[in-house]
Amino acid sequence: MGSSMRLFRVWGIDVQVHWSFLLILAYGAFIYSGQSNPLAGAIYGIVVILLLFVCVLLHEFGHALVAKYFKVNVPTITLLPIGGVAQLERMPRQPFQEFLIAIAGPAVNFVLTLLLLPVALLVVGMGMGSGSASSLLAYAQSRMMTPSLDGLLVYLALTNFALGLFNLIPAFPMDGGRVLRSLLAMAMPYVRATRIAVMVGRLMAVLLAFVGLGGNIMLLLIAFFVYIGGRGELEAVESRYVLKDIKAGDALNREARQVYTSESIDKAVDLIMTTYQADFPVFDLGSNFVGVLTRPLLVSVLRTQGREGRIVDVMIPAEQIPVVGPEMTLADVWDQMMENRSRVVAVKEQGRFLGLLTLDDISELIQVVGATKEREDSQASRPSPTAAL
């Protein structure tokens, strides 16, 4: 989301808007500018879109605040033309928590509908004077087409209802898909629940795309997002599944090379050129672990100050490196890395340094162990070809 602009920060959440949002504002202005007064119509169109996105923002805050209640950090909410995205730093462990986080967004829309609809009908009714309920609805519909306060209220009430319903379509990773996954996960393993939710989501994506081919570009975009997003999340869940059985202490590279604070940067460059290792623990002369030298860091140092200087001046000090115990599972280590935005953790046992674990180590493990697990899984659960016929 490099092309997003920060609007404000509230409850520790950065609210951002993607630049393409401007296109939607222009679209809103264009749609309503065909009125007798084009300028007033255009301004009305912009107000409509802005209020619509206030509703989308409230929907995202519904997710975010429930997530925060369950101690899941939410660094950003981004407004995109196809809707909002609340970025959760991790998925909650308990299916019930995921259920509540997912349902909270559509719930906000339904609450807004309940609040807006009586007011909207009251204002429309006052404008119409006396009349039956059916003529009230017809009148409300006609008001929605013209720039007016009552038309706006009706539009927002109905749109919130539609937003709530649309998000509940079980198209993982949309809200309804997450609701489905969390319900399934209460009855079966998380990975299988995710696989089923992703499969249902793909089916929904195809259906959405078919409807979208009728001329709705938004739907096509959402179908695409569902298809791609579902696969990404499934991979993440499967990786986690692979990692939850491996302990940090068992994944350490015992042969890892180390460097010393007093050594020159030149020495580290040589090591990186001659070994496959990308991250080095740094020790002082008393053999205490005092920091980490990473390949990205070394590259940036080489660019700015060349090969002069000592390792102690460029390393990441040990205090900034997250520490984990050897018994911690790699799934939890991975979470630690994400939460601390660190690509390396130090494994220590009662203060004694055992080694480093890096993102590279973990993704390598995912590939190796994941491949073996997949083979075992398919041999164990797939029926023989004759049985499948």
Sites of contact with Zn ion (CB under 5 A)? 105, 175
Least distance (Å) from Zn ion to the CB of residue 50? 19
Least distance (Å) from Zn ion to the CB of residue 183? 16
Q: What residues pair up with 260 in beta bridges, in sequence order?
A: 283
Query: Residue 130: exposed, middle, or buried by beta-carbon count in 10 A (0-12, 13-18, 19+)?
Result: exposed
Least distance (Å) from Zn ion to the CB of residue 12? 19
Least distance (Å) from Zn ion to the CB of residue 51? 18
Q: Select 29 or 174, whichever has its Cβ closest to Zn ion.
A: 174
Residue nearest to Zn ion (CB): 105
Q: Select 41 or 83, whichever has its Cβ closest to Zn ion.
A: 83
Structure token pair of residue 171: 């198209």
Report CA-CA distances (Å) from 209 to 80, 161, 194, 225.
19, 22, 22, 11
- Do 167 and 178 contact (CB within 8 A), yes or no? no
Q: What residues pair up with 289 in beta bridges, in sequence order?
A: 283
Backbone angles phi, psi at 143, to 5 degrees: -65, -30
Q: What residues pair up with 282 in beta bridges, in sequence order?
A: 259, 291
Q: Select 171 or 301, whichever has its Cβ closest to Zn ion.
A: 171
Q: Select 175 or 279, whichever has its Cβ closest to Zn ion.
A: 175
Least distance (Å) from Zn ion to the CB of residue 380? 36
3-state secondary structure of 290: strand
Least distance (Å) from Zn ion to the CB of residue 77? 11
Q: Select 107 or 323, whichever has its Cβ closest to Zn ion.
A: 107
Q: Select 150 or 175, whichever has its Cβ closest to Zn ion.
A: 175
Any idea what the Cα angle at residue 293 is, between residues 291 and 298, rounded to 5°?
A: 145
Omega within 30 of 0 (cis) for the link into 95: no
